[in-house]
């Protein structure tokens, strides 16, 4: 057992001095993290550009109400609002500014916006009062006769007032967007909800009967990068073990280093443990690099806690044992690497480490649930994102059992004699 | 004779359908350089690896330093130094780191500087193993085998693949080991190497050990004796004279060759030959391990170790 540390040190040093090893263990995963992170995650919250052309001017200034509406749109924090001079003819502007074409979403606020809104909302309010009086009349049985009389007089006066008001019409905003703009519908939806809220305020509804609040999945403030990081960590610990350990072991076997060590008092179990210790160290180094990288580039907040570290340890043992089995059984280096790739790559993509498993067809989802990586990254996600280690108990159970099973198989198939 | 460090009795190793080692018996004595010599596939490495506890024997007995290879694997491994065939170390570790690693595995603290200096690799101590020449790599291999200060070293084909210069340097290193008091067990397919380097050898072909003895004895028994060839005019006189000492005389054009079993017989004939010298050109050749091998097997071993 005292030999484990020296052999482990030799393996680590050997690895650190191999440029291809470092590339495939660290740089390659980082490149993929950058690539996938940019494609799926995006860097922070997306803002939509919205051009507003306000025709509702009074002495060259925006009317109070149209300005309030624009402020309401801005307060959603979803739009990056740019104002377009009402003098501009939009068709000409698009032609003159080619770059503008790609995201031209224009909201036109018509002339008379403020005036019409006041009139219309007045009419609506009066209508509401009238219809409320009518409702009261229907259920007037319990009402004091004096009150009823006063209410009927009021209703008559209001009806007279209504008749004197000019006929009001709704304000029509115009939203222009390009046909192929996939986000236009989302933008339109958001504008509509702002309009609804605005309408409610105008008719004096301050209190809302029904509300919806969007809350993040966990207590922490998460970015899309947070969601993907545990998946990447899990996937690359897997590839390091299944591809990296396989290649290392079969090469050391081919070139006779294993035979040299077997001829010393070093025991087979010490050899296996040294290799697993090396892979585990690499796994933690990789985790650290990914977390730091994710923090710098994607503003990721997830940090592995003690549970995550335990699960990472189990994953590293499981997958490096698989590597030791492949490298121990298959003598030809090329064939061993091929087998490692053939196992690692499908597992990487099928397990849902890189994208939500729900995106895949049903039968692939079933396959995923037979893959150790699935339980590894699901567990890691549950711990690192949901902050819910108990949600990872199935992962702990499965990874724990697999770690033991594979380490036993690795011990059985690793030859220390008849090499 | 000194103490036996290796005792092999009726050793057999069978792989699936091939008998790699076929009932061989031999002993190796303390302080000597012993070699198993023969072509590739003769069973030399299999034998060595059984003695190193890297393979299990199928039948027979083998004792190394008094320990049974079947039962006392740990005791044997602790006490021997090994350089396997086509030996390799951790490629990206330096010379010194590789030797230190082996020392740590044995749990010993040798004077590494001394070992490296003794074998001439001290200058290269900080170079990575894979950057060394073949000859240097073998030396490092021997340093690693020496790290635990073993009394017995196994060097499997220590000079195979080396150029003649590096081979000779490796011989010097192996002689140094003998001077240090180590017993060296090596394998080789180079007859010249065995003849120059070893005290005793066992000739092995197709799993069988055909002869084991001191090199001197092997040559005098199977080396084909001593050839005296005489070239010149009036060659008949010399022929007549040689025939009075030995029956084996060949006459080709202006050359006569006489074959003698022993040095003594040859020297008597030579004395007379020099007396009647008539401007003869005389050449004396003694047989070597090459002749021993061809005498024993009817074949020869080429540079790559193949039987021809």
Does residue B254 contact residue B232 with C-beta atoms inside 8 Å?
A: yes
- Calculate the CA B243 to chain-centre distance: 37
Distance from the A33 Cα atom to the nearest Cα atom in chain B, whole angstroms = 29
| Window B:68-127, CB contacts with A under 8 Å | 74, 77-78, 80, 82, 84-93, 97, 100-102, 104-107
Option in A7, A14, A264 nearest B77 (CB): A264
Task: Indicate yes or no: CB of B82 within 8 angstroms of CB of A255.
Answer: no
The average pLDDT across B275-292 equals 83
- Does B19 touch chain A if contact means CB atoms closer than 8 Å? no
Predicted confidence at residue A288, as pLDDT, reads: 92
> Worst-scoring range by mean pLDDT, A42-51, B108-117, B150-159, B171-180?
A42-51
Predicted confidence at residue A44, as pLDDT, reads: 46
How far is the C-alpha of A343 from the C-alpha of A322, rounded, in Å? Answer: 10
CA-nearest of A402, A357, A363 to A377 is A357
Q: How many CB atoms lie within 10 A of CB B303?
A: 8
ipTM over 0.90: no
The percentage of residues in chain B with a pLDDT greater than 90, rounded to a whole number, is 65
Contacts of A419 in chain B (CB under 8 A): 54
> Worst-scoring range by mean pLDDT, A125-139, A401-415, B165-179?
A125-139
Contacts of B92 in chain A (CB under 8 A): 13-15, 17-18
Does residue B229 contact residue B250 with C-beta atoms inside 8 Å?
A: no
CA distances from A195 to A73, A199, A201, A208, B191 (A): 9, 6, 10, 15, 100
How confident is residue A68, by pLDDT bands cut at 50, 70 and 90?
A: confident
Question: When comparing pLDDT for A197 and A328, which is higher?
Answer: A328
pLDDT of A58 higher than 80: yes
As a whole number, the mean pLDDT across chain B is 91
How confident is residue A419, by pLDDT bands cut at 50, 70 and 90?
A: confident
How far is the C-alpha of A11 from the C-alpha of A1, rounded, in Å? Answer: 16
The average pLDDT across B61-67 equals 97
Contacts of B90 in chain A (CB under 8 A): 10, 13-14, 257
Predicted confidence at residue A216, as pLDDT, reads: 46
Collect all residues with Cβ–Cβ distance below 8 Å to A66 and sequence separation of at least 6.
Answer: A54, A56, A109, A113, A114
For B13, nearest residue in chain A (alpha carbons):
A418
Give the single-character DSSP code of A264: S
pLDDT of A77 higher than 80: no
How far is the C-alpha of A301 from the C-alpha of A98, rounded, in Å? Answer: 39
pLDDT of A169 higher than 90: no
Contacts of B87 in chain A (CB under 8 A): 256, 260
pLDDT of A164 higher than 80: no
- Does B18 touch chain A if contact means CB atoms closer than 8 Å? no
Q: Which tens digit of pLDDT belongs to each residue from A116-155?
A: 888 888 888 888 888 888 887 777 677 777 887 888 888 8
Predicted confidence at residue A43, as pLDDT, reads: 44
- Does B64 touch chain A if contact means CB atoms closer than 8 Å? no
For B98, nearest residue in chain A (alpha carbons):
A10
- Rounded (10°) angle between helices A184-202 and A113-138: 60
pLDDT of B39 higher than 50: yes
Q: Which tens digit of pLDDT belongs to each residue from A211-259?
A: 665 554 444 555 666 777 888 899 999 999 999 899 999 999 999 999 9
Question: When comparing pLDDT for B121 and A388, which is higher?
Answer: B121
How far is the C-alpha of A7 from the C-alpha of B104, rounded, in Å? Answer: 9
Q: List the structure tokens of A3.
A: 């030999």
Contacts of B78 in chain A (CB under 8 A): 265
Task: Indicate yes or no: CB of B84 within 8 angstroms of CB of A18.
Answer: no
pLDDT of B257 higher than 60: yes
Task: Indicate yes or no: CB of B144 within 8 angstroms of CB of A260.
Answer: yes
Q: List the structure tokens of A279.
A: 């892979």
Predicted confidence at residue A219, as pLDDT, reads: 45
Predicted confidence at residue A357, as pLDDT, reads: 78
Q: List the structure tokens of B64.
A: 């190394």
pLDDT of B208 higher than 90: yes
Task: Indicate yes or no: CB of B104 within 8 angstroms of CB of A6.
Answer: yes
The average pLDDT across A184-194 equals 81
Distance from the B281 Cα atom to the nearest Cα atom in chain A, whole angstroms = 53
Does residue A306 contact residue A388 with C-beta atoms inside 8 Å?
A: no
Predicted confidence at residue B129, as pLDDT, reads: 96
Which of A17-31, A55-69, A390-404 has the highest average model confidence (pLDDT)?
A390-404
Contacts of B56 in chain A (CB under 8 A): 417-418
Q: Where are the alpha helices (DSSP H) in chain B?
A: 44-51, 73-79, 95-106, 112-118, 134-146, 164-179, 191-197, 215-222, 235-243, 263-275, 289-297
pLDDT of A101 higher than 60: no
The average pLDDT across A178-188 equals 73
Does residue A381 contact residue A230 with C-beta atoms inside 8 Å?
A: yes
Phi/psi for A108 (5° steps) reads: -100, 125
Predicted confidence at residue B38, as pLDDT, reads: 94
pLDDT of A103 higher than 70: no
> Exposed e or buried b for every residue in B219-243, given b needs 16+ CB within 10 A?
bbbbbbbbbbbbbbeebebbbebbe
Does residue B209 contact residue B58 with C-beta atoms inside 8 Å?
A: no
Question: When comparing pLDDT for A19 and B54, which is higher?
Answer: B54
Task: Indicate yes or no: CB of A418 within 8 angstroms of CB of B52.
Answer: no
Contacts of A255 in chain B (CB under 8 A): 88, 91
Contacts of B107 in chain A (CB under 8 A): 2
Its pTM stands at 0.73
pLDDT of A282 higher than 50: yes
Provide the Cα torsion A50, A55, A60, A64; round to 10°. -80
Task: Indicate yes or no: CB of A10 within 8 angstroms of CB of B90.
Answer: yes
Does residue B290 contact residue B282 with C-beta atoms inside 8 Å?
A: no
Q: How many CB atoms lie within 10 A of CB A383?
A: 27
Predicted confidence at residue A395, as pLDDT, reads: 94
Q: Which tens digit of pLDDT belongs to each residue from A299-352?
A: 777 778 899 999 999 999 999 999 999 999 998 999 999 999 999 999 988 898
CA distances from A330 to A20, A273, A408, A413 (A): 22, 20, 17, 10
Dihedral sign from CA coordinates of A33, A37, A43, A44: negative
- Does B185 touch chain A if contact means CB atoms closer than 8 Å? no
DSSP one-letter string for A171-232: ---EEEE-TT-TTHHHHHHHHHHHHHHHHHHHTT--S-SS------SSSS---HHHHHHHHH
Task: Indicate yes or no: CB of B102 within 8 angstroms of CB of A13.
Answer: no
Does residue B306 contact residue B40 with C-beta atoms inside 8 Å?
A: yes
Distance from the B138 Cα atom to the nearest Cα atom in chain A, whole angstroms = 13
> Worst-scoring range by mean pLDDT, A362-371, B37-46, B243-252?
B243-252
pLDDT of A39 higher than 70: no
pLDDT of A270 higher than 90: yes
Query: Residue A275, CB half-sphere, CA atoms under 13 Å: how many?
Result: 31
Task: Indicate yes or no: CB of A417 within 8 angstroms of CB of B93.
Answer: no
Q: Considering only CB atoms, which residues of chain A are within 8 Å of chain B?
A: 2-3, 6-7, 10, 13-15, 17-18, 255-257, 259-266, 417-419
Q: How many CB atoms lie within 10 A of CB A156?
A: 11
């Amino acid at each position: 057992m005292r030999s484990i540390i020296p052999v482990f040190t030799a393996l680590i040093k050997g690895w650190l001095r191999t440029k291809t090893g470092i590339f495939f263990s660290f740089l390659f995963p980082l490149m993929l993290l950058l690539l996938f992170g940019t494609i799926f995650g995006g860097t922070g919250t997306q803002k939509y550009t919205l051009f507003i052309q306000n025709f509702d001017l009074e002495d060259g200034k925006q009317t109070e109400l149209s300005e309030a509406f624009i402020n309401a749109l801005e307060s959603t924090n979803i739009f990056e609002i740019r104002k377009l001079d009402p003098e501009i003819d939009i068709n000409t502007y698009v032609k003159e500014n080619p770059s503008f074409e790609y995201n031209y979403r224009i909201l036109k606020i018509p002339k008379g916006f403020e005036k019409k809104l006041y009139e219309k909302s007045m009419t609506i309010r009066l209508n509401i009062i009238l219809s409320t009086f009518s409702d009261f009349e229907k259920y007037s049985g319990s009402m004091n006769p004096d009150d009823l009389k006063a209410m009927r007089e009021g209703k008559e006066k209001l009806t007279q007032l209504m008749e004197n008001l000019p006929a009001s019409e709704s304000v029509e905003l115009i939203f222009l967007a390009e046909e192929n703009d996939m986000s236009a519908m989302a933008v339109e939806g958001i504008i509509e909800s702002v309009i609804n809220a605005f309408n409610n305020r105008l008719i004096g509804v301050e209190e809302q009967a029904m509300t919806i609040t969007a809350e993040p999945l966990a207590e922490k403030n998460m970015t899309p990068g947070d969601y993907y990081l545990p998946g990447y960590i899990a996937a690359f610990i897997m590839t390091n073990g299944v591809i990296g350990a396989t290649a290392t072991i079969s090469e050391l076997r081919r070139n006779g280093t294993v035979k040299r060590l077997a001829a010393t008092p070093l025991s087979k179990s010490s050899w296996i443990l040294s290799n697993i210790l090396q892979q585990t160290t690499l796994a933690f180094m990789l985790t650290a690099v990914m977390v730091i990288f994710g923090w710098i580039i994607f503003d990721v907040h997830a940090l592995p806690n003690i549970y995550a570290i335990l699960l990472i340890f189990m994953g590293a043992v499981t997958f490096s044992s698989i590597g030791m089995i492949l490298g121990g059984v298959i003598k030809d280096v090329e064939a061993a690497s091929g087998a490692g790739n053939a196992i690692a790559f499908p597992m990487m993509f099928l397990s849902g480490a890189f994208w939500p498993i729900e995106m895949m067809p049903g039968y692939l989802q079933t396959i995923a649930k037979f893959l150790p990586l699935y339980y590894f990254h699901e567990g890691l996600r549950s711990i690192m994102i949901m902050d819910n280690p108990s949600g990872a108990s199935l992962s702990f159970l499965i990874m724990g059992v697999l770690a033991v099973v594979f380490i036993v198989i690795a011990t059985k198939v690793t030859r220390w004699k008849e090499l | 004779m000194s103490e036996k460090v290796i005792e092999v009795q009726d050793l057999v190793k069978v792989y699936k359908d091939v008998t790699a080692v076929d009932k061989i018996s031999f002993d190796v004595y303390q302080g000597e350089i012993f070699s198993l010599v023969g072509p590739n596939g003769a069973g030399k490495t299999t034998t060595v690896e059984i003695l190193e506890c890297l393979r299990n024997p199928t039948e027979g007995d083998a004792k190394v330093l008094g320990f049974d290879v079947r039962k006392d694997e740990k005791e044997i491994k602790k006490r021997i130094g090994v350089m396997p065939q086509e030996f390799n170390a951790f490629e990206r570790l330096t010379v010194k780191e590789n030797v230190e690693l082996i020392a740590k595995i044995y749990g010993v603290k040798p004077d590494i500087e001394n070992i490296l200096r003794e074998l001439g690799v001290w200058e290269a101590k900080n170079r990575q193993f894979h950057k060394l020449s073949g000859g240097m790599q073998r030396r490092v291999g021997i340093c690693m085998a020496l790290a635990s200060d073993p009394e017995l070293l196994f060097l499997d084909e220590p000079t195979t693949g080396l150029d003649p210069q590096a081979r000779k340097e490796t011989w010097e290193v192996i002689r140094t080991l003998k001077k240090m008091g180590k017993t060296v067990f090596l394998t080789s397919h180079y007859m010249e190497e065995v003849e120059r380097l070893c005290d005793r050898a066992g000739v092995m072909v197709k799993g069988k050990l055909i002869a084991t003895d001191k090199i001197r004895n092997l040559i005098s028994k199977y080396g084909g004796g001593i050839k005296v060839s005489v070239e010149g005019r009036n060659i008949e006189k010399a022929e007549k004279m040689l025939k009075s000492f030995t029956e084996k005389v060949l006459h080709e054009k202006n050359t006569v060759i006489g074959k003698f079993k022993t040095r003594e017989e040859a020297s008597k004939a030579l004395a007379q030959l020099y007396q009647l010298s008539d401007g003869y050109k005389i050449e004396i050749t003694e047989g070597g391990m090459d002749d021993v091998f061809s005498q024993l097997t009817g074949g020869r071993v080429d540079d790559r170790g193949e039987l021809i």
